[in-house]
Amino acid sequence: MKLTILGGGGFRVPLVYGALLTDRGEGRVTEVVLHDLDDSRLYAVARVLAEQAATVPDAPTVTATTDLDEALRGADFIFSAIRVGGLEGRANDERVALAQGVLGQETVGAGGIAYGLRTVPVAVDIAQRVARLAPDAWVINFTNPAGLVTEAMSRHLGDRVIGICDSPVGLGRRIAKVLGANPREAFIDYVGLNHLGWVRGLRVAGRDELPRLLADPDLLGSFEEGKLFGTDWLQSLGAIPNEYLHYYYFNRETVRAYTEVERTRGAFLRDQQAQFYDEMKRPDAAALTAWDRTRAEREATYMAENRETAGAGERDEDDLSGGYEKVALALMRAIARDERTTLILNVRNQGALSVLDADAVIEVPCLVDANGAHPVAVAPLPDHATGLVCAVKGVEREVLAAAENGSRTTAVKAFALHPLVDSVNVARRLVEGYTEVHPGLAYLK
């Protein structure tokens, strides 16, 4: 079984490889191909993987290449985890937006649109190559903004591309834990778009346990989302929002916090990772130790500004291990071995959420087996959530159109229609600012 990782020199690749090393079952991945545009990043990550594999018998082989077509040929699974424009691009996404007084986050608001506009053309090119060179492969898309990028790829790959994100999984796990339920036995009634969804119920043995949580302020205030959003607001909503909704519900505070911070998230990660990749150039460096130290610091500071704004304090120990790699492995196993399971994934709607059309990629619980991921029909969202989901899907569609027709006017429309961009003039200035700093947006005319 051959797995190709696009963005193979990326910082989180060792998480995926670490998960593969735990898989001893039949039909497991035996061959990993890393693809990246940058040789030195491939070299750095390959060093970490070699140290991870050192004590494991029959570890999957690892090869690296900068030739995309070669990487794709013969792949059974393709993970796409690329970052167009690198972390410097992410820092610029933040900076240009904040200069206009609006949110510059990797996936939400103006920053997410800018990142989407740069990434979609590259993702489409990859999808077209996959369709030609590896038509039977399953593509697992990690690349952010994950919902939008998955939808762009699905226009060429249909249901053979599946988007993943670890935040709904982490949310479900936290809720199950405070309720004393086993996350494996719980059905998480979650729906929305990527980074824009809500848990409306958690069923164990046919009984919804969420009302018990919502009725208990102590329980509600004891985990990440309770601290971030406040118990009163969660009770008002009658649902638990994905943590990324903090940028919507507390937009003014998060924009202010981002503006005041010494280094934005992207700038922090850019500097932190530059140091790691530099260190990997030293032949005597302890690769795995350096990687793990860097990872731990990244996890501990995740959404630090949001938590500070909310007075939420440090992250819970259990939340530091992520889950990114576990979702990917669970998905691959379910498909490769026909091990039927339920996972929250980004797939084409196909009627599951009736307010959106069949081709809209949504984030929803799916039944997964050898035939792929099948969305489970869900109850409608309340009007306020439907409004947000439809507005943001409308923006995503403008981004896809701008990427397809290369139109600057359409790009302005995408920014202007976003609920977190408060003026058409701001949208115009954002397009000016972004096209000045991003070579990847030169196609907008």
Beta-carbon count within 10 A of 355 CB? 16
d(CA 194, CA 144): 9
**Is the CA virtual torsion 29, 30, 32, 33 positive or negative?**
negative
| Span 121-150, contacts to ligand G6P by CB under 6 A | 144
Site string for Mn ion, 164-183 (x = CB under 5 A): -x------------------
Nearer to ligand G6P, 35 or 298 (CB): 298
Q: Which residues contact 43 (CB under 8 A, 6 or more apart)?
A: 9, 64, 280
Nearer to ligand G6P, 142 or 415 (CB): 142
Nearer to ligand G6P, 90 or 200 (CB): 90
| Span 137-166, contacts to Mn ion by CB under 5 A | 165
Nearer to Mn ion, 60 or 241 (CB): 241
Q: Does 15 bind Mn ion (CB under 5 A)?
A: no
The interface partner of residue 298, options being ligand G6P, Mn ion, none and the CB cut-off 5 to 8 Å by kind, is ligand G6P
Tell me the C-alpha to C-alpha distance, in Å, between residue 222 and each of 103, 132, 190, 249: 28, 50, 20, 20
d(CA 112, CA 309): 21
Whether the CB-CB separation of 375 and 346 falls below 8 Å is answered with: no
What is the nearest approach in angstroms of Mn ion to the Cβ of residue 146? 6
Site string for ligand G6P, 231-270 (x = CB under 6 A): ----------------------------------x---x-
Tell me the β-bridge partners of 163: 141, 346
What is the nearest approach in angstroms of Mn ion to the Cβ of residue 200? 20
The interface partner of residue 398, options being Mn ion, ligand G6P, none and the CB cut-off 5 to 8 Å by kind, is none
The interface partner of residue 413, options being ligand G6P, Mn ion, none and the CB cut-off 5 to 8 Å by kind, is none
Give alpha helix (H) positions in 30-85. Answer: 39-53, 68-72
Closest Cα partner for 385 from 176, 199, 188? 199
Nearer to ligand G6P, 28 or 298 (CB): 298
Q: Does 302 bind ligand G6P (CB under 6 A)?
A: yes
The interface partner of residue 302, options being ligand G6P, Mn ion, none and the CB cut-off 5 to 8 Å by kind, is ligand G6P
Whether the CB-CB separation of 64 and 42 falls below 8 Å is answered with: yes
Name the DSSP letter for residue 319.
G
The footprint of Mn ion (CB under 5 A) covers 165
The footprint of ligand G6P (CB under 6 A) covers 144, 165-167, 265, 269, 298, 302, 324
